[in-house]
Amino acid sequence: MVSAILEGKPDKNLILVTGRAHPKLAADVAKQLGIDILETTAYDFANGEMYVRYTESVRGADVFVLQPHSTPVNKAIMEQLIMIDALKRASARSITAVCPMLGYSRQDKKHLGREPISCRLVFDLLATAGADRIMSVDLHASQSQGFFDGPVDHLIAMPVLVDYVRDRLDLSNIAVVSPDAGRIKVAEQWAQRLGGCPLAFVHKTRDITRPNHAVANRVVGEVKGKDCVLVDDLIDTAGTIASACHVLKEAGAKSITVAATHGVLSGPAVERLRDSGAREVVLTDTVPIPESKRWDGLTVLSIAPLLASAIKEVFSDGSVAELFDTYPTHHGQGFLFA
């Protein structure tokens, strides 16, 4: 009798839900997947607390909860947490927290005594809420995925960005530049993907007692006369990128193209980027970038196809790693995880 009831039911049921942080990205991912987003009622109470409820059953479904931790970060995180909690209590079969940008990713270690490791806490909160799996793009430090005691699909936006840059620059004259020593490994992969071009980095120092305060001192490596591709995981106030552009120009760079995954663009970022002398700034849409923060020199690439492909692979028990082995197919060689 029971098996008769179950007959004809699909083995698996994929559901995509989203919070209110980036509805456009969720819609783009749903379109790529060829599904509708499950409707969620969500609103704020007068005191700032949030309420969510799904309008249909999620029982037995593999649910993907898409929400980048964009500004206001704490609200985006909390909304995703209560969405996950609601799914757990409504008997979803599996819950994947899709965080295209993970909040607090930069706070992955203690620099001084008596500091928190906030990135670890965010992973713990997602686990406590009920997430079985986490999917994110370009964590600030790849090894942070070890903060979660379960599968973490760490996607990299590099294939998307490299493809765009490769088609627009003279490959024989490129140098890839890391804006600080910490991202050299990622920059090295960029250089490999761009035909083994020269690599340089900016020696940056920061005052760890002040937020968003970094000083680019000098360029290490040869950039004179080069078309420089300056790569970073995120641009927040653009202090890092603007000062890196400054020292690159001083070192005789011919042109600068900035490529970064997360365009947070807080405070003076847009003004700084416009005045930086970069010929183009290329970002992805892991976080929303409103029209008011766009200008002619900015290109925003869609991360939706990558997220949708990864969701498809996870749902169908395929391989996310192979996704990067074959992406972009027309350029051969795959990507290593930094």
Least distance (Å) between residue 41 CB and ligand R5P: 35
Give me the half-sphere count of Cα atoms (radius 13 Å) on the Cβ side of residue 177.
Answer: 36
Binding pattern to ligand R5P, positions 265-304, x when CB under 6 A?
Answer: ----------------------------------------
Give me the half-sphere count of Cα atoms (radius 13 Å) on the Cβ side of residue 209.
Answer: 1
Q: Which of 31, 204, 249, 312 is catalytic?
A: 204
Least distance (Å) between residue 166 CB and ligand R5P: 22
Rounded (5°) CA angle 21-58-29: 40
- Indicate whether 103 belongs to the interface with ligand R5P (CB under 6 A): no
Of the residues 232, 263, 270, 289, which one makes contact with ligand R5P according to CB under 6 A: 232
By C-beta, is 18 or 237 nearer to ligand R5P? 237
User: Does 53 appear as a known binding residue?
Assistant: no
Of the residues 29, 214, 258, 314, which one makes contact with ligand R5P according to CB under 6 A: 214
- Indicate whether 107 belongs to the interface with ligand R5P (CB under 6 A): no
User: Does 236 appear as a known binding residue?
Assistant: yes
Terminal alpha carbon distance of the chain: 52
Least distance (Å) between residue 272 CB and ligand R5P: 8
Long-range contacts of 28-34 (CB under 8 A, 24+ apart): 28/302, 28/304, 29/66, 29/304, 29/307, 29/308, 29/311, 31/304, 32/304, 32/305, 32/307, 32/308, 32/309, 33/308, 33/311, 33/312
- Indicate whether 239 belongs to the interface with ligand R5P (CB under 6 A): yes
Considering only the stretches 27-35, 74-82, 113-121, 174-182, report the one whose residues sit in contact with ligand R5P under the rule CB under 6 A: 174-182
Task: Give CA–CA dist 71/94, Å, rounded.
Answer: 27
Can you say which residues are annotated as belonging to the binding site? 47-49, 106-107, 140, 180, 206, 232, 236-240
Site of interaction with ligand R5P (CB under 6 A) = 106, 179-180, 182, 212, 214, 232-240
